[in-house]
Chains A and B, each alone.
Chain A
Amino acid sequence: MKILIVDDDKTNRLVLSAYLKKDGHTIVAAQNGTEAIEVFQAEEPALILMDVMMPVMDGYEATKKIKSMMTDKFIPIIFLTAMTDEKSLSRCVEVGGDDFLTKPYNRTLLKAKIDALQRVSRLYNTVNEQKHKLIIHKENEKKEQEVARKVFDSILNPGCLSSENIQLHLSPMSLFNGDVVLAAVKPTGGLHILFGDFTGHGLAASLGALPVSDIFYSMTAKGYSINDVAREVNRKLKLQLPTGMFLAACLVEIDTINNMLKYWNGAIPGAFLHKGDSVVELKSQNLPLGILGDSGFSDKVEIVELHDNDRIILSTDGILEAENSSGEMFGLKRFNDCLNFDIKSETESGIKNVGTASDKEDESSLFQHILDTLDEFTQEQAQTDDVTLGVITCDIDYINQLASQKGGYKKFVPTHWQFDLHFFYDSIKSIDPIPLINQIMCEIQGHQIQQDKLSMVLTELFCNSLDHGLLGLDSNIKATPEGFMQFYSDKESRMNELESGFIHISVSNEPTETGGDLTIIFEDSGKGFNVKKIQQKNLQIDTCNPISFSGRGISLITNYCNSVTYNELGNRVECVYSWSNE
C-alpha cells in the first residue's frame, strides 16, 4: 500500500518510513500541510500519516482540505501526535481524521492500526465501486427502456390518437403498458378505434400490442371493416401469445356516412355511448381476443344509431378495480354515476356543454369529471393495474375532415385499365386469386372500390369456375346435408388429382363520373354446363326454397352485378359490376 507520511521532522519521517517499508509498504513523504496536498494529488496514496504541529500549514488544516478533495474513495488519515489532551484529540476527529497514533511510535500498534484501516477502506471502496456499477446499470437500463418506449410508441401510434376529438388518459404502472389504444381514419371516411387491455402489465403485456397495431393499421388502411380486423387480431394473437395471455378489447367503427356506430366488444366492461340525454352500454358479447380458434370466433358486430357529438367512453377494468386506502373498489356504480352526472348538468342547463372537440381542456368535461372523481376516490393510493380512459367525441364534420387530411389516402381519379390473369391447374392448387385481384385494383384505383361486395362476387365466380368447370362437380348433390359433405370431400380429392386445365380471369374498368364499370370475365377449361337449365333452376330455388344448400352463388352474382352473361358452352361468364367512390 502506498502511504503518505507528513511530518516536518526528518528523523520522524526516517523512523516511520523504515517501519512501514519493513511491512512492505511504499512511502511518499511531505514536510508540511501544503506539500502534503500536492503530494496527495500527485501520488494518490491509499493512507496518510499526518503530524499535527507543522510550519506553513498544520495537520488539521491539511486534513480538512484533503478530505474535502476525496470524491468517492475512502483514504484513511491517521494523526501522529505527541499530544494527549482530549481537546487536541477531538480536534483530530472533527477535521476528518480516522485514528491517532501517539509518539513515540510503537511498531506493533502502528502495524495493527494500518491493517485495520486498510480493511475498512477496502470494504468502503468495494461497496462504493458496486454502488457505482449499480447506478450506471440502472441509468443504462432506464435509457434503453426509454429508447424502446419511443420505438414502441412510434410503432403503436401512426394513427390519429392525438386528434382533437379524442381525450385519452393512460397511467401505466411502469414505463410499458399492458393497455393498448389505437385509432385510425378509414380510407372511405370514418374512424376505427381499438381499445384493449392485455392480461398482466409491463413489458411482457405490452409486447402483444405490436402485432395488434400492425394488423389494425394495415387492415384499416386497406379498407377492411372492424369485424375483419377483430377476426385477424384474434387469429394472430391465438397463434402468437402464450396460453393464459389474451387481449380484452373493444373495437369501434364510427361510420360518418350512415351515422352508425359499429362495435365488437370482447370483455371490456366499461364501454358506453353517451348520447347526451341517455347512456347506452356497448355490452361485451364475446370472449377476449386470442382465446378462441378462428372457427369458433364470432366477428358479429353490434350496431347503434349515432348522432353528431355523441361520445364514446372506453375504460379498462383498471379504473373499475382502482382501490382506495381501505381496499374498496371504484366499481361500475361509481363509474355509471359519473356518466349520469353529466346528463343531469346538461338537461338543467339546456343543450350547453355537449362535449365538442373544442372543449377538450374544459374542466367540466365528462372526461375530466371521471378522472377527478377517480382521483378523489383513490387519493394517493398506488394502483395495481394500468388505468386507461378514453373519451371520443363523434364530431361528424371533424372526423370527415380528418379523412381528407390524411395524405396517404389521396383521391384516385377513375381511369381506363385492364388486367388478365391466367392460372394453370398446379397454381390453382396453391393460390387464392381473390386477394391478389383486390390488391391489384387497390394499387391502380386506391381504396375507392369498396371491396366487401366485390370480393363476394369474385369469390363466387372463382368457385363456380373451379368447382363446376375445372373439377366438374355437380352442385345438385349439395341439396342434402350428407351430399353437402360429399361435395366437399369430392372437391378435395379431385383437386389433388387435377393434372390439366386453367382459369383465365380478366378485369377491366370503364370510368364513369363517380367511379367505374368493371367488366369481369372468368373463363375455364371445363366442359361447361347447360346454362338455361341452371338459370331456370336458380330462379325456382330463389322463390320457392330459400333454405337450399346450393345455387346461392349465381343469384348473389346477379343481385350485385348489372349484368351476367354466360357463353353457350357455359365455361365463360362475363359480369359488369358498377362501383362508386362517393
Chain B
Amino acid sequence: MIIDIDVINELKEIMEDDFDELISIFISDGQVQIDNLKKAIDSSNVDDARRIAHTLKGSSANLGVLDLSETCKQLEHKAAEGSLENANELLEKIISFFNETKKILENNF
C-alpha cells in the first residue's frame, strides 16, 4: 500500500492548518534526502546511507507512507550490515514510491 489513508486523515484532523505545511515539508525534505541518499550510495558512504534511510523511514512511517518506509527499512538494514549491494535497485524503488506518494499527496490533500 502506497499510503494508509486512515493515518493521513487522522493527521489532517489533528494538525488542522499545520497539515499543509507538514505535507509540503515532507515533500521538499524527502526530495533533499533522496538526493543525499543517491550521493551517499554513489560514493559508497555506508554510514550516511544508513542514517538517511533511517530518517526517511521514520518520517514516511509517521505519515502512513508505508511502501516507501518499508523500502527505506530494507536499505537501512543492508547498510547497517555494511553492504550497499542492491542499493541502487532499492534507491530506484524509493524514488518511484516517493514520486507516486508526492502525486497522491499533492492531488488529494
A positions within 8 Å CB-CB of B: 8-12, 14-15, 18-19, 22, 53, 55, 82, 103-105, 107
Contacts and interface: CB of A to CB of B under 8 A. Distances in A.
12 contacts: A8-B55, A10-B25, A11-B59, A12-B58, A14-B22, A15-B11, A15-B62, A18-B18, A18-B22, A103-B62, A104-B7, A104-B62
A5 to B, nearest CB: 13
Nearest to A52: B54
Contacts of B51: 53, 55
A414 B5 CA distance: 118
B58 A82 contact: yes
Count chain B CB atoms within 10 A of each CB in A10, A11, A19, A53 and give the residue with the most: A11
B11 A18 contact: yes
A11 B63 contact: yes
Contacts of B54: 53, 82
A53 B48 CA distance: 11
Interface of B: 7, 10-11, 14-15, 18, 21-22, 25-26, 29, 51, 54-55, 57-59, 61-64, 69
**What 6 A-B pairs come out closest when comparing CB atoms?**
A104-B61, A11-B59, A18-B15, A103-B58, A15-B62, A11-B26
Given A53-B55, A82-B54, A82-B57, A12 B18 contact: no
Nearest to A51: B58
A105 B62 contact: yes
Given A53-B54, A53-B55, A11 B25 contact: yes
A21 to B, nearest CB: 9
A262 B54 CA distance: 98
Contacts of B14: 18-19, 22
Nearest to B30: A11
Contacts of A105: 62
Contacts of A104: 7, 58, 61-62, 64, 69
Contacts of A9: 29, 55, 58-59
A105 B63 CA distance: 10
Contacts of A19: 14
A165 B30 CA distance: 94
Contacts of B11: 15, 18
A322 to B, nearest CB: 74
Nearest to B26: A11
Contacts of B59: 9, 11-12
A82 B29 CA distance: 19
Count chain B CB atoms within 10 A of each CB in A9, A10, A104 and give the residue with the most: A104
B66 to A, nearest CB: 9
Contacts of A53: 51, 54-55
A18 B19 CA distance: 9
A21 B40 CA distance: 36
Contacts of B63: 11, 15
B61 A103 contact: yes
Count chain B CB atoms within 10 A of each CB in A12, A53, A82 and give the residue with the most: A82
Contacts of B10: 107
A22 B10 CA distance: 12
A105 B10 CA distance: 12
